[in-house]
Amino acid sequence: MKDFLPITREDMQKRGWDSVDFAFVIGDAYVDHPSFGPAIISRVLEAAGYRVGIIAQPDWKDENSINVFGEPRLGFLVCAGNIDSMVNHYTVSKKRRAKDFYTPGGVMGKRPDHATVVYGNLIRRTYRNKPVIIGGIEASLRRMAHYDYWDDCLKRSVLLDAQADILSFGMGEHSIVEIADALDSGIPVSEITFVSGTVYKARTLDHLSGEYLLLPSYREMSEDKLQYARSFYTQYTNTDPFSGKVLCEPYDNCFVIQNPMSRPLSQEEMDSIYALPYMRTYHPCYEKEGGIDAIKEVKFSLISNRGCFGGCSFCALTFHQGRIIQTRSHESIIAEAQEMIKDPDFKGYIHDVGGPTANFRRPACDKQLKYGVCPQKQCLFPKPCANLKVDHTDYLSLLRKLRALPGVKKVFIRSGIRFDYIMADPDDTFLREMCQYHISGQLKVAPEHVADAVLSKLGKPANSVYQAFCRKYAQINKALGKEQYLVPYLMSSHPGSTLKEAIALAEYLRDIGCSPEQVQDFYPTPSTISTCMYYTGVDPRTMQPVYVAHNPHEKAMQRALIQYKNPKNYELVYEALVTAHRTDLIGFDKKCLIRPRNSSVPHSAKPQKPLTEAEKKYGISFEKYDSIQKAEKQGNHRPLKHSGRRKRV
C-alpha cells in the first residue's frame, strides 16, 4: 500500500500495528519527498522491514508530545529538519526570520532553537533508557566540538548535549540500517561502536583495536583557539571513507569517538533509494494551514548526484556528503521524470537536474573510488589537479534525453554550476547547449568575490578564471543570437576581506554595470574552514593569521559597498571610503561610486532642500553638469562658466 507513514496512533492501528519500531521526531513538517532527508531515512527503514512512525514538529514544552505512538520497540530517531534549526530561524545578523518554509503556512516558531538538543532532552525526560539516535544536517555538522556563531562560544559534541546514544552523520542510509539491525538483534546500544558514519561515547579507549587519532580535549580547545584550529583540520582531512581514521575527542568524563564516514553509495543503491514509494508531497493534514512552501521548488526537480569535490571553504559538504561524487543512472532519473509528468500540476517545466554541483556527474579522478580523495589536496583549487577528469558528456546525454520526453517543454539547470570545471573542459558543447536550452535569460554563478586575496581563503579559483568564463559565455550567447546575462552570487565580509577588498569588489561591479539585488554576508555555520577562520583568526590549513571582520558595523560597510547604488547605503559607503582613504571614489567622475554629500540631492528634489554644488556654481543640475563634463572631454561643448544665478533648472 502506497501511503504516508503513520503520524497518529490511529494511522498506526489502521496498518494493524500495535507499536512502531522507531518513532522519528523531526523539526520540519512531514514531507514525503526524496529531497527531504527524513523522508529518505524513514523509507529506507521501511524497505528494510522496520515500522516507522513520524512525530513532526512536536510541542517541545509538552512531554506527552513524543508519546504519539507510545514506547517504540527499538528506539527514537531525531532530526532537526532539512536545514539547521539556527540557520532556519536567524539571519546572519542574528535577527529572527519572519517565515519558516518547512512549516505549514510558513509559521515561525514551530520548532525550538538547537532542535536536536531540545528534542533529545525531551525524549530523555520520559524514556531514560531507550536508545536515541540523532542525525541530519544539524547533528552531522556538530558531531564533535564546534564553534557556535549564535552563542559565540565553543560547544561540546551535540551527542553529549542531546543525551543521545549514537549520532549518524553524513547521508545515513547505510548506517541507519546497520544500527537498526544491531538493535533488532539484541545488541545493547552502548555496544554499537562498529558502524561507519557514526559517533558514539565511551568511558575509555580500551575497546579500540585499530589505529586512531587523539584530538585535543574539549578543555584544551576551550582555552586555546589554536588547538581548536588544529583539531578542526585533522577532522577535515579525515572525512574520506577510504583513508579516514577513527577520531577520539576527550572530555572530562568520557571520549566522543567518530568512526570513518560511510562508504559512498553505488549507482544501484542510489537508484533503489530514489525508487522507494515516496508520496512526493507534504502530508494532506497541512492543506488547511496553507501547505508547505519548501516543496514548491523541489517538487518538479530531479536529483542526479551527491557529493562535491569543489572544496569551497564556506561550504560544509565535505563534512556531510563528502567529496566523492555519487550518481543515479539515466534510467532512474528518466523514470522519475515520467512520473513527474503525470502530476496534474506539472506544466512542462523541470525546474532542475542536479545536486550540490549540477555539472559533476563522475568522480574527480579514477582513483577516488578505490583509494579515496587526497586528504590535503583539492581537486579544483587553487587550480585543477593534473589528475582531474573533466567530462560533461554523461550530463549532456542525460539532459538531451530529458528534454526529448513528451510533455516536457524545458529543462532548467538551477543547481550550482562550477564555471572553473567548465573552463577546464576543452570542449564547449556543454556550455553551448546549456545556453541554448537550459537557462532562460540569466545564469546564476558563484564567483563570490574578485579579489584574489579573498578568493584564496574562499577556496575559489583566481578572478582571471571567472573573467575568462564571462567572455566565453558572452561569445557563445552572441553566436546563438541570445541576449542572456550572468548573475553573480557575491559574499561580503568573508575572512580575508578588508575594506580594501570590499572596495575592489564595488569597483568591479561599477565597471560591469551590475547592481546586485541580493548579497550574502558571510554566515559562520558549523564545520566549515571559513567558520574556523572566523573563530580562531587563522587559516587551519596553514595556521597563518587571517584578517576577520567581526565588528557588525564593519560588516555592514562591506555589505553596503556591494550595493553602493542603493540610497539607503549612502552613509555606510561614504564612511567606508573615508575610513579606507579612498575619497577619490567620492565625486562626479564616472569612476566614482557616490557623489559628495551636498551633491547627492537629485535635481528633482523639493525646493526647500539645499542646492547642490553644481547648482550653486553653474546654475544647473549636477546631472546636466555631469553630461556637459563628458561632452567637454570629447571636445563637443564649450567650457562652463559661472552663471552667477542661484535658481534651479
Domain membership flag for residue 290? no
Given a cut of 70, the residues of the chain with pLDDT beneath it are: 1, 599-649
pLDDT at residue number 444 = 92
Convert 442-491 into a string of H (helix), E (strand) and C (coil).
Answer: EEEEEEECCCHHHHHHHCCCCHHHHHHHHHHHHHHHHHHCCCCEEEEEEE
DSSP H/E element including 556: helix 552-562
How far does Cα 183 stand from its chain's mean position? Answer: 33
Q: Are residues 565 and 617 in the same domain?
A: no
For residue 633, count other CB atoms closer than 10 A to its CB. 9
Q: Are residues 447 and 430 in the same domain?
A: no
Domain membership flag for residue 557? yes
Q: Are residues 368 and 486 in the same domain?
A: no
**If DSSP codes are grouped into helix, strand and coil, which group holds residue 281?**
strand
Domain membership flag for residue 210? no
What CATH number does the domain containing 464 carry?
3.30.750.200
Residue with cell 577619490: 584
Q: Are 314 and 494 in contact (CB under 8 A)?
A: yes
- Rounded distance between C-alpha atoms, residue 217 and residue 275, angstroms: 44
Per the prediction, the chain carries an average pLDDT of 92
Cell readout for 392 is 560533461
Residue with cell 572530562: 252
Residue with cell 565588528: 551
- Rounded distance between C-alpha atoms, residue 557 and residue 579, angstroms: 10
For residue 225, count other CB atoms closer than 10 A to its CB. 16
Residue with cell 550653486: 616
- The tally of domains found in the chain comes to 4
- Rounded distance between C-alpha atoms, residue 16 and residue 13, angstroms: 5
Cell readout for 112 is 525550538
Nearest to 648, CA basis, from 609, 623, 620, 622: 620
Convert 617-631 into a string of H (helix), E (strand) and C (coil).
Answer: HHCCCHHHHHHHHHH
- Rounded distance between C-alpha atoms, residue 121 and residue 161, angstroms: 8
Q: Are residues 329 and 473 in the same domain?
A: no
Residue with cell 565511551: 202
Q: What is the pLDDT of residues 608-649, one digit of tens each?
A: 344 455 444 444 444 555 565 555 555 554 444 443 333 332
DSSP H/E element including 352: strand 352-354
Q: Are residues 414 and 543 in the same domain?
A: no
Q: Are residues 635 and 544 in the same domain?
A: no
Say whether the peptide bond before residue 382 is cis (omega within 30 degrees of 0).
yes
On the CB side of 591, CA atoms within 13 Å amount to 5
Q: Are residues 64 and 188 in the same domain?
A: yes
Domain membership flag for residue 211? no
DSSP H/E element including 199: strand 198-202
pLDDT at residue number 635 = 54
Q: Among 200, 216, 247, which residue terminates a domain?
A: 200
Q: Are residues 318 and 182 in the same domain?
A: no
Torsion angles phi and psi, residue 295, rounded to 5: -80, -20
Domain membership flag for residue 225? no
Residue with cell 538551477: 414
Domain membership flag for residue 345? yes
Distances (CA, A) of 188 to 75, 163, 165, 596: 11, 16, 10, 73
Q: Among 398, 423, 438, which residue terminates a domain?
A: 438
Instruction: Provide the residue range defining the domain that includes 632.
Output: 605-649
pLDDT at residue number 287 = 95
- Rounded distance between C-alpha atoms, residue 553 and residue 570, angstroms: 14
Length of the chain: 649
Q: Among 200, 228, 263, which residue terminates a domain?
A: 200
pLDDT at residue number 631 = 57
- Rounded distance between C-alpha atoms, residue 61 and residue 23, angstroms: 18
Q: Are residues 362 and 455 in the same domain?
A: no
DSSP string across 117-145 = HHHHHHHHHH-SSS-EEEEHHHHHTTSSS
Quote the DSSP letter at residue 435. I
- Rounded distance between C-alpha atoms, residue 428 and residue 401, angstroms: 19
Q: What is the dihedral of CA 216, 141, 117, 158, to 10 degrees?
A: -20
What CATH number does the domain containing 339 carry?
3.30.750.210
Domain membership flag for residue 258? no
Q: Are residues 81 and 173 in the same domain?
A: yes
Domain membership flag for residue 385? yes
Q: What one-letter code names the amino acid at 140? A: S
Q: Are residues 422 and 552 in the same domain?
A: no
Q: Are residues 177 and 324 in the same domain?
A: no
Q: What is the pLDDT of residues 129-161, one digit of tens each?
A: 999 999 999 999 999 999 999 999 999 999 999
